[in-house]
Structure 1
Amino acid sequence: MDHICPLCRTNNNEMAIDFTIEEFICSHCKNLITVGQSTQRKIVKKPVENVALEVGGKGVLYGTEYWVINIVIKKYGLDTFWREYSLKDKAGNNVYLSESDGHWVFLRPVDFAFKEFKYYAEANGKNYRWYETTPCTVYAATGFFEDKLQFGLATYKEYVNGTEMISREEYGKSVQFFKGNHISRSEIKKAFGVTDMPYRSGTGIVQPFYYNVKQCTNIMAITALLICALQLYVVTSRSNQTVFEQNINFADVTDKEVVSKSFTLSGGSAPLKVHAFSDVDNSWASVGLSLVNEKTNEVIYASKDIEKYSGYEDGESWSEGSQSEDFNLCGIPAGTYHFLISAEKEGGTTDPFKLGYRPQNADFSILKNNEGGFSLKNDKDQTIRTYNDLEVLTSEIILRTGLQNTIKETGKLDSILLNMTQEYGDPVNFEKNPAVNITATWLPVSFWNFGIVLVCLILFTVLSYWMKRTFESGKWSNSSNSPYSSN
């Protein structure tokens, strides 16, 4: 389609489709030319700032191929501008793209006048809330126009319902009606093959929220019900089950580990609670456990110290610690397992009298105890007697063994006793607390996980409604009829 400017003789042939026009703006001299006349009507400022499309540009929107036939920048007040792109398809149908602050609306003309009330309008059985009434003028324009381009004051009245809007454009006695919906920047870029788009700020008049809050709420509610049903099944179908229990003698695990019998866990992943008991009294014990998955050989290690101390000080008794400790191995899946167990206690497990002094042909042993005195253990009745006086002990040894009570024998015995070390531990308590009891219990699925998931679902839902309200409040911030009282 060729339109030669009668003033500068430029051939304005940007359009690839043919349609009847009444005016065009020369792309070279910017004069507004009425078709069939050789004089200018006026010089029109060319749209430049934030213009994304070009006259003659072609793109496919909603399955239909359109050409951009003109671009008009509208102005409201001193510094409010928006851009309108008129599009035409091969069948001669017109649609429009309106862009403001980087937000796009796709508009179609309608051939009926919707019902207007004080604060809303009704169209096709749907109510649209009155957003704003905006007087505006043409600031800049370019392209081809099927009717005369009007530069006087026009009035737009817009009504909004979610991501849809209807509007009425009034110029003098001429009134046009439109219905529009939000269209994303990505759709415009893809349809027309453009890369540079106007910077987006604020919230568009029909911009949708980032996701469907009502749909997400329904999904969350269904998810919560399913989780509740699953938790109910788990709770009713399973109870605490002791899967392992054994007394481990400290003497059996000295410098080595004991391999337990195998046990099987069935069901969903759940905590394995371990209870360890040792008859400690003013002493400590330590237990190390390795849970081995016999199928995957995966190992989970845990250790625990058991200690209890008590005494009497300043007229009052005191106590701290406990003879038992509990801990959990969390998230253990179903499978067959065994434990590798190691343990130790204060004072060790070796009889210290076996390393002590034993006179020839005697039925007793002697060692130097922790307090610096001496302890004598009788082999016959296993009784232990403590001596803090070296002379008394020497006399007892001579009496029991029949040694000659001479200076030489006494001196020799004193030398042996005085040179003994104190590294044999507590001779009185080494036989106390010989074992540690370990019990493992397979627990139902923890209510903590169940509660945390439900709380997260509720928080997400509440946060979504709050975010959407904030979003919608921003959308209506420029409206004279906002439904949000804070605006």
Structure 2
Amino acid sequence: MDHICPLCRTNNNEMAIDFAIEEFICSHCHNLITLGQSAQKKIVKKPVENVVLEVGCKGILHGTEYWVINIVIKKYGSNTFWREYSLKDRAGNNAYLSESDGHWVFLRPVDFAFKEFKYYAEADGKKYRWYETTPCTVHAAAGFFEDKLPFGLATYKEYVNGTEMISREEYGKSVQFFKGNHISRAEIKKAFGILELPYRSGTGIVQPFYFNVKQCTNIMAITALLICVLQLYVVTSRTNKTVFEQSINFADVTDKEVVSKSFVLSGGSAPLKVHAFSDVDNSWANVGLSLVNENTNEVIYASKDIEKYSGYEDGESWSEGSQSEDFNLCGIPAGNYHFLISAEKEGGAKDPFKTGYRPANADFSIVKNDAGNFFLKNDKDQTISTYNETEALANDIMQRTGLPNSIKTKGKLDSILLNMPQEYGYPENYDKNPSVDITATWLPVSFWNFGIVLVCLIIFTVVIHWMKRTFETGKWNNSSNSPYADN
């Protein structure tokens, strides 16, 4: 399409498509030329600031190929500007891109007048709230115009519903109606192959929220319902009971661990409460537990000190600590388990029979205390027999071992027994606090995590509704008919 400027003789042939025009602005001398006339009409300011598209450039929007046929910068008041790009497809249909503060709207003309009321308008069965009525003038322009370019005062009246808008443009007796939608910056860049767009500030008149709040709320509600159902299943699918109970002798776990019997935890994950008791008195004890999952070989370790001290000072008695301690192993899932148990107490737990007198080939050991009494411990049944006289003990030793009952043998045994080292305080000290009692209880399913998740879902839902309201309030900041005017 060639249009030669009658003033500077520049051939304005930027367009690759042909359509009928009434006026054009020369790209060289910027004169507004009426087709068929040679007289100078008006020099028009060239659109420069924040203009990113050029007359004649091509882009594909919503599957249709468009050419930019003109650019008009509109002015409201003394310092409010926005840019309008007129588009035309190969079939001759018109569309428009409007950009303000970096926000883009794609508009198409409609051939019907929508119904207007005081604060809203109706189109296609949908209500649009009145946003603003804006008087404006043409500040700068370039390109080709199918009608005369109006430089007088024009009036825009805009109505908004979410990401859609309808508008009425009135200039003199001429009235045009448009319907538009938000279009993203990414779509503009892709359509026209440009890299930089005007800086975006504020909230666009039909800019969508970052995500669909209604869908998000529905997802939160469904998630909360599923969590409730799952929690109900977890609660009803298991019983709460004592799953392990054992008394551990400190002497049996000196420098080693004891492997407990296996036990089964069934149902949903829940805390395993461990209760440990030891008859400490002005002393301490420690128990170490390793919970072993026999299905996965995962190990959870815990250690607990048990201590109790008391006394009498300045005429008053005092006490601190306890003979029992409770602790939880949290979030234990169902499965087969056993404990590895270690324990120790203040002063150790040495078994005096391990260093006592043991005859050759015998299945028993003998110790002697500081009172002159003898004690024989049977290895088979762990029973302990007490003897007050060496003669009775010597006879029992000969009977148990099959030694000859002779004066020589008795004399030798008497010498050994009389010269044995003494275990001072046995059996009182040895029997004091000999063990720690361990009980493990499969607790009720905890509602703590369940409650935290539900509270987080509720807080998230409230926050996104607050964000949406704040977003919409910002969108209507420039409107004289804001539904949030009383906030």
User: Normalising by the residue count of structure 1, what TM-score does the alignment of the two structures yield?
Assistant: 0.83
Structure 2 residue 296 is the aligned partner of structure 1 residue 296? yes
Structure 2 residue 480 is the aligned partner of structure 1 residue 480? yes
Say if 2:217 and 2:461, in contact at 8 Å, map to a contact too. yes
| Cα offset, 1:425, TM superposition | 11
| Cα offset, 1:311, TM superposition | 2.8
Q: Which amino acid aligns with 1:329?
A: L
Q: Which amino acid aligns with 1:127?
A: K
Q: 1:190 to 1:299 in 2, by over 3 A?
A: same
Q: Which amino acid aligns with 1:21?
A: I
Say if 2:251 and 2:351, in contact at 8 Å, map to a contact too. no
SS in structure 1 of the partner of residue 99 of structure 2: strand
Structure 2 residue 167 is the aligned partner of structure 1 residue 167? yes
Moved more, 76-85 or 300-309: 300-309
Moved more, 239-248 or 282-291: 239-248
Say if 1:163 and 1:206, in contact at 8 Å, map to a contact too. yes
Q: 1:445 to 1:143 in 2, by over 3 A?
A: farther
Aligned length: 432
CA distance in 1: counterparts of 2:149 and 2:213, whole angstroms: 43
Q: 1:112 to 1:295 in 2, by over 3 A?
A: same
| Cα offset, 1:264, TM superposition | 3.3
Structure 2 residue 28 is the aligned partner of structure 1 residue 34? no
Q: Which amino acid aligns with 1:319?
A: S
**Aligned position for 2:47:** 47
**Aligned position for 1:186:** 186
SS in structure 2 of the partner of residue 462 of structure 1: helix
Q: Which amino acid aligns with 1:147?
A: D
Say if 1:243 and 1:441, in contact at 8 Å, map to a contact too. yes
Moved more, 236-245 or 472-481: 236-245
Q: Which amino acid aligns with 1:77?
A: G
CA distance in 2: counterparts of 1:7 and 1:269, whole angstroms: 88
Say if 2:235 and 2:268, in contact at 8 Å, map to a contact too. no
Moved more, 448-457 or 297-306: 297-306
**Aligned position for 2:216:** 216
SS in structure 1 of the partner of residue 16 of structure 2: coil
Q: Which amino acid aligns with 1:379?
A: N
SS in structure 1 of the partner of residue 457 of structure 2: helix
CA distance in 2: counterparts of 1:34 and 1:425, whole angstroms: 125
Gap regions ≥5 residues in structure 2: 357-366, 377-423
SS in structure 2 of the partner of residue 19 of structure 1: coil
CA distance in 2: counterparts of 1:306 and 1:80, whole angstroms: 77
**Aligned position for 2:229:** 229
Map Cα deviations across residues 216-243 of structure 1 (whole Å, 9 max, x no partner).
1111111111211111121122121333
Q: Which amino acid aligns with 1:174?
A: S
| Cα offset, 1:108, TM superposition | 1.2
CA distance in 1: counterparts of 2:165 and 2:18, whole angstroms: 31
CA distance in 2: counterparts of 1:426 and 1:120, whole angstroms: 100
Q: Which amino acid aligns with 1:213?
A: V
**Aligned position for 2:64:** 64
| Cα offset, 1:337, TM superposition | 2.7
SS in structure 1 of the partner of residue 73 of structure 2: strand
Gap regions ≥5 residues in structure 1: 357-362, 366-375, 383-423
CA distance in 1: counterparts of 2:86 and 2:444, whole angstroms: 66
| Cα offset, 1:172, TM superposition | 0.7
Say if 1:270 and 1:443, in contact at 8 Å, map to a contact too. yes
**Correspondence list, 1:249-398, <5 A:** 249-350=249-350, 365=369, 376-380=370-374
Q: Which amino acid aligns with 2:310?
A: S
CA distance in 1: counterparts of 2:323 and 2:270, whole angstroms: 26
Moved more, 211-220 or 442-451: 442-451
**Aligned position for 1:359:** none
SS in structure 2 of the partner of residue 48 of structure 1: coil
Q: 1:425 to 1:22 in 2, by over 3 A?
A: farther
| Cα offset, 1:313, TM superposition | 3.2
SS in structure 1 of the partner of residue 41 of structure 2: strand
Q: Which amino acid aligns with 2:373?
A: D
| Cα offset, 1:377, TM superposition | 4.6
Q: Which amino acid aligns with 1:68?
A: V
CA distance in 1: counterparts of 2:426 and 2:37, whole angstroms: 122
| Cα offset, 1:28, TM superposition | 1.7
**Correspondence list, 1:444-459, <5 A:** 444-459=444-459
Moved more, 154-163 or 255-264: 255-264
| Cα offset, 1:244, TM superposition | 2.3
Say if 1:353 and 1:427, in contact at 8 Å, map to a contact too. no
| Cα offset, 1:351, TM superposition | 5.4
SS in structure 1 of the partner of residue 33 of structure 2: strand
Q: Which amino acid aligns with 1:255?
A: D
CA distance in 2: counterparts of 1:445 and 1:334, whole angstroms: 12
SS in structure 2 of the partner of residue 450 of structure 1: helix
Moved more, 58-67 or 259-268: 259-268
User: Normalising by the residue count of structure 2, what TM-score does the alignment of the two structures yield?
Assistant: 0.83
CA distance in 2: counterparts of 1:132 and 1:172, whole angstroms: 19
CA distance in 1: counterparts of 2:24 and 2:99, whole angstroms: 22
Say if 1:347 and 1:426, in contact at 8 Å, map to a contact too. no
Q: Which amino acid aligns with 2:235?
A: V
**Aligned position for 2:22:** 22
| Cα offset, 1:429, TM superposition | 4.0
CA distance in 2: counterparts of 1:296 and 1:9, whole angstroms: 88
Structure 2 residue 7 is the aligned partner of structure 1 residue 13? no
CA distance in 1: counterparts of 2:355 and 2:37, whole angstroms: 128
| Cα offset, 1:442, TM superposition | 2.9
Q: 1:172 to 1:309 in 2, by over 3 A?
A: same
CA distance in 2: counterparts of 1:426 and 1:465, whole angstroms: 76
**Aligned position for 1:369:** none
Structure 2 residue 151 is the aligned partner of structure 1 residue 151? yes
| Cα offset, 1:353, TM superposition | 11
> Alpha carbon RMSD of aligned pairs, Å?
2.5
Say if 1:204 and 1:475, in contact at 8 Å, map to a contact too. yes
Map Cα deviations across residues 81-136 of structure 1 (whole Å, 9 max, x no partner).
11111111111111111111011111111111111111111222222111111111
CA distance in 2: counterparts of 1:450 and 1:222, whole angstroms: 15
| Cα offset, 1:260, TM superposition | 1.9
Q: 1:121 to 1:283 in 2, by over 3 A?
A: same
**Aligned position for 2:73:** 73
**Aligned position for 2:87:** 87
CA distance in 2: counterparts of 1:266 and 1:191, whole angstroms: 60
| Cα offset, 1:352, TM superposition | 7.3
| Cα offset, 1:77, TM superposition | 0.7
Say if 1:57 and 1:67, in contact at 8 Å, map to a contact too. yes
Map Cα deviations across residues 389-448 of structure 1 (whole Å, 9 max, x no partner).
xxxxxxxxxxxxxxxxxxxxxxxxxxxxxxxxxxx9999544211111222233344201
CA distance in 2: counterparts of 1:294 and 1:83, whole angstroms: 72
| Cα offset, 1:69, TM superposition | 1.1
